[in-house]
Amino acid sequence: MSRYNFQETEKKWQAAWTAKDCFAAGTDKSKPKYYVLEMFPYPSGRIHMGHVRNYTMGDVVARYKRARGFNVLHPMGWDAFGLPAENAAISQGVHPAKWTFENIATMRDQLKGMGLSLDWSREIATCHPEYYRHEQRMFLEFLERGLVYRKESWVNWDPVDQTVLANEQVIDGRGWRSGALVEKRKLAQWFFKITDYSDELLTALDSLDRWPAKVRIMQENWIGKSQGARVFFSLAGRSDKLEVFTTRPDTLFGAAFCGISPNHPLAAELAAKDPALAEFIAECNRMGTSEATLEAAEKKGYDTGLKAMHPFVDGWELPLYVANFVLMDYGTGAIFGCPAHDQRDLDFANKYKLPVKPVVCPRDQDAATFKITDTAFTDDGVIVNSDFLNGLDVPGAKAAAVKRLEELGAGQGTTVYRLRDWGVSRQRYWGCPIPVIHCAACGIVPVPKSDLPVKLPEDVTFDKPGNPLEHHPTWKHVDCPACGKPARRETDTFDTFIESSWYFGRFCSPRSDAPVDRSEVDYWLPVDQYIGGIEHAVLHLLYSRFFNRAMKAVGYVGIDEPFAGLFTQGMVCHETYKDAAGNWLLPQDLKKDGSKLVSVKDGGAVTVGRSEKMSKSKKNVVDPSYIIETYGADTARWFIISDSPPERDMEWTEAGVEGAWRFTQRIWRLVDGWMTAHPGLAGLSSLPGGNVPADALALRRTVHKTVAGVTDDIEKFRFNRAVARIYELANALSDVKDAALTDARGLAVRAEALRVLVLLISPAMPHLAEELWARLGQSGLVAETAWPEIDPALVKDESVTVAVQVNGKLRATLELPRDLDKAEAERRALGDANVRRALDGKAPKKVVVVPNRVINVVI
């Protein structure tokens, strides 16, 4: 018996697919289309298991949809701008472009080795001027339409590296690379007006019914719509007013203090004359700016000595603090604190001995005795201690308070969003240049569209800290397009999220002279099935939703939502290993010594740690190429979809890979064995008419039920269940005796079973499927063969197993005809020996009959 040789076979069929151009998206726009897209990779060097999982899932869907008759677009490209290329330039002295394109070449080869059904003719790399010139053009068009503006904003500044740092690059207040104390700086930057679409981006989430609820909730929270009021507090001894935002105007009579953000302009003004305050602000800024940090941190404040005047009560003065938990970027950067009904305010008040006056009383409490000590009361109740608001409920009091504020000119009802505009300026080299020119006379002048693209200069150095575009001797010096005098190019580049905000549109017409070809995007968009990591739940997906709307506003596309269906996959995890000295070890650096694991290098003991997301830093990585070379792409693909539900984290194990490997061999032996024992099977592709004997009918039922189940599972992304059903089918086929089903009809039924088996495994194991298809004597490629049809009559069994319970406990199972009359089912259940014994002579009080499922006898 021959053995399946994946090394030759996988290459052979990959070549066959390429030769016939099987996976190019079709041009016939009368066919129903299906656009399946996996999040394109950053070319970091080599593919990792997360890619394998992502692209296998996409490929299963793409191959399945093709077999179902769809015109499938399944493209691939490279998210090729980004910081790692610059880090490589700094540490290895290699140019970012060279590093990036070499990585792309390596990873392209690796992806091809996986046998993915991609349309490689549409490949794009976002760092190519042929790609980024279009976003420069769109930027200018957005600018004309008022969707882009410039303003100053705070950044984390590393004074040694002379660069802006992401929050995650700030560790304990220091730059991750330089170790220098990070400063807050204000920088003029470009912003996209995503907030123009706040409400629309929020409302439209309801229409995304094929998105995970989790992602929609995350976006909803991110946008963070809240209704409330702006309140203007007069400041004693000053002419300006303090503008505060609150969602709880109903609790104004419970106010104990006002607080402003350390970054509030008033705080800066006061700090200029108060060194202690300046030091307090500096301390706050060292702590980091993320909401999580702020809200978990101890509440601290600095009493400015200023007094804010209560808007409703003449002469009521509230102390004004600079408070570390007040965010400058949300609302107005200033709050009033009502300790009784906000936990943060209560913590703050308790620390600074401020009064805690309840103004909302729970309905089951007595207002006279109701006290707040450690836990704020934030639910609805009756308003008390609040003058004209007394007796109202919370919503009523909010409305009444806003009305009074507006009458007094002391405030107004308002809606605020947590969503902030999208800052797109980056002080980096390896990104798309922002196409504007700064002229001393004319101000900001857009680069004329005829001068696009503004290409990155290639001759740059990374030996100095800061942005290489700043250091370049000539690049930034240009003449002003408006007045002709010497001027200066913008040296900032775009956030790389811009590239990924429209690449799915570019794939529809990747060589078009325009950003997108309208007739192509009108056909292909939206993406029917988008697949990627949950880590992109908010930023990438929200930016893309915004960018698509901006493109619609300037006429490039006609739809609002770019991704009709979204699936977020779980991570690939692996056990972690440490040697005796506490160093992380690669899985391949271990060997088995008896029942223990030891280090290959020195034979020392190895500690096995918990399974965690594969990461280079913990060395718990397995190289996909190693797996593909050792076991083949089909084995890797099969294993990665077989064990865990795709949305959940999965654990990569050697044993699991081995199991998948054995299955490929088993399928091969099964088909090969049948073909050897029954040469008449070759080339059979239809069933003769007439009655089918019972054993053949049973096999056909199994086959057709499997097709129905697997089809349903793939449609619903339950790949692990589809795999289990295919195992069951394989088990059933293995049980067929050699001597059975040997007449013409029997052979035809056998041939049908084998064809179905091969077609069902083909989305996940395409190479093996092609090889077996040929072995079956079938013509053409599986890649071009339709999905098997189901005979509905074979999917429903004639009899069903019904559980019989007595008082809810299982006492017997009965084999009953499907849809048997309820009374008859009850009669048979009561006649069963086990049931009678359980009844113990007692008469049933009631019998619940659920047809085809369960009968419960209650005594």
Pick 76 or 684: Cβ nearer RNA: 76
Instruction: Give the nearest distance from C-beta 400 to RNA in angstroms.
Output: 25
Any contact of residue 5 with RNA (CB under 7 A)? Answer: no
Pick 311 or 587: Cβ nearer RNA: 587
Report the residue from 89, 164, 531, 772 that binds RNA according to the rule CB under 7 A.
Answer: 164
Angstrom distance (rounded) from CA 602 to CA 51: 33
**Could you say which residues in the range 582-641 bind RNA, by CB under 7 A?**
none
Instruction: Give the nearest distance from C-beta 327 to RNA in angstroms.
Output: 9
Report the residue from 535, 602, 629, 712 that binds RNA according to the rule CB under 7 A.
Answer: 535
Any contact of residue 166 with RNA (CB under 7 A)? Answer: yes
The total number of residues shown for the chain amounts to: 859
Angstrom distance (rounded) from CA 50 to CA 72: 23
Any contact of residue 79 with RNA (CB under 7 A)? Answer: yes
Pick 644 or 785: Cβ nearer RNA: 644
Q: Helix and strand tally (H, E) in the chain? A: 26, 37
Report the residue from 8, 130, 658, 824 that binds RNA according to the rule CB under 7 A.
Answer: 658
**Dihedral in degrees, nearest 10, Cα atoms 662, 664, 665, 670:** 120
CA distances from 618 to 176, 576, 589 (A): 18, 7, 13
Q: Quick one: how far is CA 788 from the chain centroid? A: 33
The 458-497 contact track toward RNA, x by CB under 7 A, reads -------------------------------------xx-
Pick 309 or 806: Cβ nearer RNA: 806
The 233-272 contact track toward RNA, x by CB under 7 A, reads ----------------------------------------
Any contact of residue 838 with RNA (CB under 7 A)? Answer: yes
Angstrom distance (rounded) from CA 715 to CA 601: 47
Angstrom distance (rounded) from CA 362 to CA 370: 8
User: Rounded to the nearest 5 degrees, what angle is found at the Cα of 74, between the Cα atoms of 71 and 79?
Assistant: 155
Instruction: Give the nearest distance from C-beta 793 to RNA in angstroms.
Output: 19
Count of residues of this chain found to bind RNA when the rule CB under 7 A is applied: 94
With contacts defined by CB under 7 A, name the span among 289-297, 301-309, 397-405, 442-450 that binds RNA.
Answer: 289-297
Q: Quick one: how far is CA 804 from the chain centroid? A: 45
Residue labelled with tokens 């009959």: 849
Pick 117 or 642: Cβ nearer RNA: 642
With contacts defined by CB under 7 A, name the span among 221-229, 251-259, 276-284, 302-310 that binds RNA.
Answer: 221-229
CA atoms within 13 A on the CB side of 524: 26
Pick 58 or 311: Cβ nearer RNA: 58
| Residue 159 CB burial class (10 angstroms; 0-12, 13-18, ≥19) | middle
With contacts defined by CB under 7 A, name the span among 228-236, 659-667, 686-694, 695-703 that binds RNA.
Answer: 659-667
589 and 601 in contact (C-beta within 8 Å)?
yes
Report the residue from 520, 643, 771, 832 that binds RNA according to the rule CB under 7 A.
Answer: 643
Helix 129-144, helix 539-553: angle, nearest 10: 70
Any contact of residue 858 with RNA (CB under 7 A)? Answer: yes
Residue labelled with tokens 């609820």: 213
Any contact of residue 393 with RNA (CB under 7 A)? Answer: no
| Cis bond before residue 526 (omega within 30° of 0) | yes
Angstrom distance (rounded) from CA 614 to CA 660: 20
Any contact of residue 813 with RNA (CB under 7 A)? Answer: yes
Tokens standing for 39?
């999040």
Report the residue from 33, 101, 160, 169 that binds RNA according to the rule CB under 7 A.
Answer: 169
Residue labelled with tokens 């008469």: 843
* Three-state SS at 26: coil
CA distances from 831 to 515, 800, 804, 845 (A): 75, 18, 11, 16
Tokens standing for 292?
């999580």
Angstrom distance (rounded) from CA 843 to CA 859: 6
835 and 784 in contact (C-beta within 8 Å)?
no
854 and 808 in contact (C-beta within 8 Å)?
no
Pick 39 or 447: Cβ nearer RNA: 39
Report the residue from 464, 662, 818, 827 that binds RNA according to the rule CB under 7 A.
Answer: 662
Angstrom distance (rounded) from CA 288 to CA 325: 11
Instruction: Give the nearest distance from C-beta 533 to RNA in angstroms.
Output: 7
Any contact of residue 659 with RNA (CB under 7 A)? Answer: yes
Tokens standing for 215?
């992602």
Which residues touch 204 (CB under 8 Å, ≥6 apart)? 545, 560, 561
Alpha helices in 287-374 (DSSP H): 291-296, 343-351
Pick 460 or 733: Cβ nearer RNA: 733
Report the residue from 663, 674, 717, 787 that binds RNA according to the rule CB under 7 A.
Answer: 663
Pick 33 or 193: Cβ nearer RNA: 193
Pick 481 or 844: Cβ nearer RNA: 844
Pick 111 or 309: Cβ nearer RNA: 111
H/E element holding 532?
strand 529-533
Any contact of residue 830 with RNA (CB under 7 A)? Answer: no
Report the residue from 642, 664, 706, 711 that binds RNA according to the rule CB under 7 A.
Answer: 642
Instruction: Give the nearest distance from C-beta 422 to RNA in angstroms.
Output: 7
**Could you say which residues in the range 189-208 bind RNA, by CB under 7 A?**
189
Any contact of residue 168 with RNA (CB under 7 A)? Answer: yes
Instruction: Give the nearest distance from C-beta 428 to RNA in angstroms.
Output: 8
Report the residue from 419, 590, 622, 783 that binds RNA according to the rule CB under 7 A.
Answer: 419
**Could you say which residues in the range 688-727 bind RNA, by CB under 7 A?**
718, 720-721, 723-724, 727
Pick 284 or 439: Cβ nearer RNA: 284
Report the residue from 276, 292, 581, 843 that binds RNA according to the rule CB under 7 A.
Answer: 292
Instruction: Give the nearest distance from C-beta 169 to RNA in angstroms.
Output: 6
Letter for the amino acid at 358?
A: P
Any contact of residue 48 with RNA (CB under 7 A)? Answer: no
Angstrom distance (rounded) from CA 700 to CA 684: 15
Instruction: Give the nearest distance from C-beta 856 to RNA in angstroms.
Output: 3
Q: What are phi and psi of 595, to 5 degrees?
A: -95, 0
CA distances from 545 to 80, 315, 504, 541, 559 (A): 21, 50, 12, 6, 10
**Could you say which residues in the range 721-780 bind RNA, by CB under 7 A?**
721, 723-724, 727-728, 731, 734-735
Angstrom distance (rounded) from CA 562 to CA 204: 12
Instruction: Give the nearest distance from C-beta 20 to RNA in angstroms.
Output: 33
Neighbouring C-beta atoms of residue 820, cutoff 10 Å: 18
The 7-46 contact track toward RNA, x by CB under 7 A, reads -----------------------------------x----
Any contact of residue 285 with RNA (CB under 7 A)? Answer: no
**Could you say which residues in the range 80-139 bind RNA, by CB under 7 A?**
82-84
Any contact of residue 224 with RNA (CB under 7 A)? Answer: yes
